[in-house]
């Protein structure tokens, strides 16, 4: 299993339901990863394409976008952590707000999925974040605390689990919290619980080539989870460069 403490900054590309074979071929030819600077770059395509990346592997790691909470059995359409491990996948996003919103995923599901991933030596990237309404109600920290306390398994620690803070209202909208707000919320997340105070905590939500540097320069931000801008190879190269 990868030891997270070996890296300083994480750049995780969440392709969501985008990409195809020719896109992957061109993307991997143009992707410029500098592995000597302590950065960890992870590409998360849709699961069916994971093996195409393996064939072209460069200085980056592979991640899945979701996983079954079940290991084996009569669960049509599911993919297990064990099979991700067989294909050399090192990371997996869990509890993304789109999974919570469109597929009714609950904190308890997130915990079960993360547990299965850890059992199979895969790093869970556990997503948390508030809606705009929750932000307006000043309940951001309560929402995140609940997601963290209920969604992170006891087997997690700072070397094997990443937390991704993604305010839902910032995803795909071009809106982001201010740099000061990101700084404060990341500091506050670390104080939710002693156990997570030294976790790698990354930020996601409209990260792009212009704002990424300021965001990842914050001492309590350990990287970025990037959606739309990760699909534009020139922008993504600038972000990870
Ligand atoms: P955008 O970068 O497109 O806002 O998406 C963020 C995200 O959801 C990454 O998981």
Cα-to-centroid distance, 88 and ligand 1 (Å):
24
Does 55 score more than 70 pLDDT?
Answer: no
CATH of 4-240, one of 3.90.340.10, 3.50.50.100, 2.60.370.10, 3.20.20.70: 3.20.20.70
Ligand 1 atom closest to the Cα of residue 173 is 4
Cβ of residue 225 lying under 6 Å from some atom of ligand 1: yes
Note the pLDDT of residue 54.
65
Note the pLDDT of residue 192.
97
Q: Spot the catalytic one: 71, 96, 133, 213.
A: 96
Q: Which 3-state string (H, E, C) describes 111-165? A: HHHHHHHHHCCCEEEEEECCCHHHHHCCCHHHHHHHHHHHHCCCCCCCCCCEEEE
Cβ of residue 207 lying under 6 Å from some atom of ligand 1: yes
Q: Is residue 166 annotated as a catalytic residue, yes or no? A: yes
Among 48-57, 95-104, 147-156, 205-214, whose mean pLDDT is lowest? 48-57
Cβ of residue 224 lying under 6 Å from some atom of ligand 1: no
- The predicted model gives 125-145 an average pLDDT of 98
Does 21 score more than 80 pLDDT?
Answer: yes
Q: Spot the catalytic one: 98, 105, 130, 166.
A: 166
**Mean pLDDT, all residues of the chain:** 96
Note the pLDDT of residue 56.
59
What are the structure tokens assigned to 154, written together? 């006891």
Band of pLDDT at residue 58, cut at 50, 70 and 90: confident
**Cα–chain center distance at 71:** 22
User: How large a percentage of the chain has pLDDT more than 70?
Assistant: 98
Cβ of residue 230 lying under 6 Å from some atom of ligand 1: no
- The predicted model gives 171-197 an average pLDDT of 97
């Amino acid at each position: 299993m990868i030891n997270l403490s070996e890296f300083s900054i994480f750049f995780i590309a969440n392709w969501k339901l985008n990409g195809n074979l020719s896109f992957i071929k061109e993307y991997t030819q143009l992707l410029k990863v500098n592995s000597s600077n302590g950065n960890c770059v992870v590409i998360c395509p849709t699961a069916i394409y994971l093996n195409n990346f393996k064939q072209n592997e460069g200085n980056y790691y592979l991640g899945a976008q979701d996983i079954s909470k079940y290991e084996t059995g009569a669960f049509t359409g599911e993919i297990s952590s064990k099979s991700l491990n067989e294909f050399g996948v090192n990371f997996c996003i869990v509890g993304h707000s789109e999974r919570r919103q469109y597929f009714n995923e609950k904190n308890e599901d997130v915990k079960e999925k993360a547990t299965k991933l850890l059992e199979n030596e895969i790093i869970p990237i556990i997503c948390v974040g508030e809606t705009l309404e929750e932000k307006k109600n000043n309940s951001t920290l309560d929402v995140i605390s609940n997601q963290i306390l209920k969604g992170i398994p006891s087997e997690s620690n700072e070397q094997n689990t990443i937390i991704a803070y993604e305010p839902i209202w910032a995803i795909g909208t071009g809106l982001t919290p201010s740099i000061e707000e990101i700084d404060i919320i990341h500091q506050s997340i670390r104080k939710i619980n002693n156990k997570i105070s030294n976790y790698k905590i990354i930020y996601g939500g409209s990260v792009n080539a212009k704002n990424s540097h300021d965001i990842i320069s914050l001492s309590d931000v350990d990287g970025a989870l990037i959606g739309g801008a990760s699909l534009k190879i020139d922008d993504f190269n600038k972000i990870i460069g």
